[in-house]
Amino acid sequence: MRKLIDRLAEEHKLSKEEWIALIENRGEKDYLSHLARQAQKKYYGNKVFTRGLIEFTNYCKNNCYYCGIRRDNKNASRYRLRAEEILDCCKQGYELGFRTFVLQGGEDGYYTDDKLVELIGLIKNKYSDCALTLSVGEKEKDSYFRFYKAGADRYLLRHETADMEHYGKLHPPELKLSNRKDCLWNLKEIGYQVGCGFMVGSPGQTPETLAEDMMFITQLQPDMVGIGPFVPHHDTPFAGESQGSVEETLYLLSLLRLLKPNLLLPATTALGTIDREGREKGILAGANVVMPNLSPVTVRKKYELYDNKICTGDEAAECRMCLVRRMESIGYQLVIDRGDPVKI
Ligand code: SAM
Ligand code: FES
């Protein structure tokens, strides 16, 4: 295992069979996380970047089997924030030191391309020193282009799994892996900083499908990769499935750090949900980003992708202070910065 890990650290790629062997075996954990931290420190020092997440709509036309805000969840209480409310979140976030805002939501037809273009313009006009990330799902290339021209800098679209059969177990037939991948390639071609990613421990995931993910990430060379444990939601078809493991998530975070040493890699809220110290452990495994919530407390509980999501009752300022303390406790510093990837 050590040899494979060393080679990954040197060459930043492995064959599919080698990925399978590493992921199946999950050996040399301490050695792997040591190398991952070395790479993280080399490029980012002890800095942790922060993004203010604004969950602006929980309406969604899709029906992903894992997701708490899927269309068929009639128990979800739906909301969408108005432009003024979103701008209020940005204002509060800016004062707290956020220099990246992430607009995330379900695929909500109310937010037409025109409305999104206007919203992007409003935010970028006021906060020109901030990066704006969109995470609003699959769109036509032309729409992505319009958002980019309007000022969006980054786009998060987890590919969820790079294995076609596995994709079919997680999504209804109308959602296609090929389209998801095309979207990512289109985003990259347009010039966005692009983030893909997947849930760890999603139903049907195997070392083979994870190896496919690693191969896809090697090919795509994204700027960001978002991974967090799958956590079941009680009102979805996957209510009875088991959640992903902390240990496996940490192992994969470290592998990703070695796969692309300058990657922007969040220690996710889902990881903090299944382990009280999940985010600290994530940073110590090689992650370098945290994404606290800036949404108004009144709607936070409603953006419930999975059960027991943390921080749904805290004000943005409390969340930020809590994270500052948590990062300090492990020797890292939350910085006021757009948090762009460093060039290698
Ligand atoms: N609609 C956008 C999209 O499709 O990319 C963004 C919103 S979507 C809810 C954001 C991410 O939440 C998904 O890519 C998925 O990986 C994650 N997610 C959804 N349900 C989850 C669950 N039960 N456990 C962990 N993560 C989940
Ligand atoms: Fe659309 Fe989850 S099913 S955001």
Q: What are phi and psi of 313, to 5 degrees?
A: -105, 0
138 C-beta closer than 6 A to ligand 2? no
70 C-beta closer than 6 A to ligand 2? yes
> Cα 179 vs. chain centroid, distance in angstroms?
19
Q: How far is CA 296 from CA 169, 210, 289, 299, 312, in A?
A: 34, 35, 22, 6, 9
Provide CB contacts within 8 A for 319, sequence distance 6+: 292, 293, 311
Provide CB contacts within 8 A for 177, sequence distance 6+: 159, 161, 162, 163, 164, 167
| Residue type at position 151 | G
106 C-beta closer than 6 A to ligand 2? yes
> Cα 53 vs. chain centroid, distance in angstroms?
11
Closest ligand 1 atom to Cα of 232: 23
Nearest C-alpha to atom 4 of ligand 1 is from which residue? 137
pLDDT for the residue numbered 123: 98
Token output for 281: 């452990």
> Do residues 290 and 334 touch, judged by C-beta distance below 8 A?
yes
Q: Which of 305, 306, 309 to mutate to test the pocket of ligand 1 (most atoms within 8 A of CB)?
A: 305
Closest ligand 2 atom to Cα of 70: 3
Nearest C-alpha to atom 4 of ligand 2 is from which residue? 106
CA angle 256, 152, 273 (to 5 degrees): 45
d(CA 266, CA 264): 7
Short-list 202, 203, 337, CA closest to 270: 202
Q: How far is CA 20 from CA 14, 213, 259, 327, in A?
A: 10, 11, 14, 32
Element (H, E) at 132: strand 131-135
Short-list 115, 107, 133, 122, CA closest to 53: 133
pLDDT for the residue numbered 149: 98
Token output for 155: 């786009």
pLDDT for the residue numbered 313: 87
| Domain ranges, ordered by start, for the chain | 2-335
Determine whether 113 is exposed, middle or buried from the number of CB atoms within 10 Å of its CB (0-12, 13-18, 19+).
middle
Token pair 């990613």 is at which residue?
197
Task: Give the architecture (CATH level 2) of 2-335.
Answer: Alpha-Beta Barrel (3.20)
Q: How far is CA 297 from CA 89, 261, 315, 317, 339, in A?
A: 11, 35, 6, 11, 25
Nearest C-alpha to atom 3 of ligand 2 is from which residue? 70
Q: Which of 59, 60, 66, 147 to mutate to test the pocket of ligand 1 (most atoms within 8 A of CB)?
A: 66
pLDDT for the residue numbered 61: 98
Q: How many residues does the chain have?
A: 344
DSSP string, 186-255: HHHHHT-EEEEEEEET-TT--HHHHHHHHHHHHHH--SEEEEEE----TTSTTTTSPPPPHHHHHHHHHH
pLDDT for the residue numbered 314: 84
Closest ligand 2 atom to Cα of 67: 2
Q: Which of 62, 80, 157 to mutate to test the pocket of ligand 2 (most atoms within 8 A of CB)?
A: 62
69 C-beta closer than 6 A to ligand 2? yes
309 C-beta closer than 6 A to ligand 1? no
Closest ligand 2 atom to Cα of 64: 3
Q: Per-residue confidence of the chain (344 residues) as pLDDT tens digits?
A: 999 999 999 999 999 999 999 999 999 999 999 999 999 999 999 999 999 999 999 999 999 999 999 999 999 999 999 999 999 999 999 999 999 999 999 999 999 999 999 999 999 999 999 999 999 999 999 999 999 999 999 999 999 999 999 999 999 999 999 999 999 999 999 999 999 999 999 999 999 999 999 999 999 999 999 999 999 999 999 999 999 999 999 999 999 999 999 999 999 999 999 999 999 999 999 999 999 999 999 999 999 999 999 999 888 889 999 999 999 999 999 999 999 999 98
Closest ligand 1 atom to Cα of 270: 25
Ligand that comes closest to the CA of residue 66: 1
Q: What is the pLDDT of residues 15-63, one digit of tens each?
A: 999 999 999 999 999 999 999 999 999 999 999 999 999 999 999 999 9
d(CA 46, CA 25): 30
Q: How far is the CA of 68 from the centre of ligand 1 (A)?
A: 9
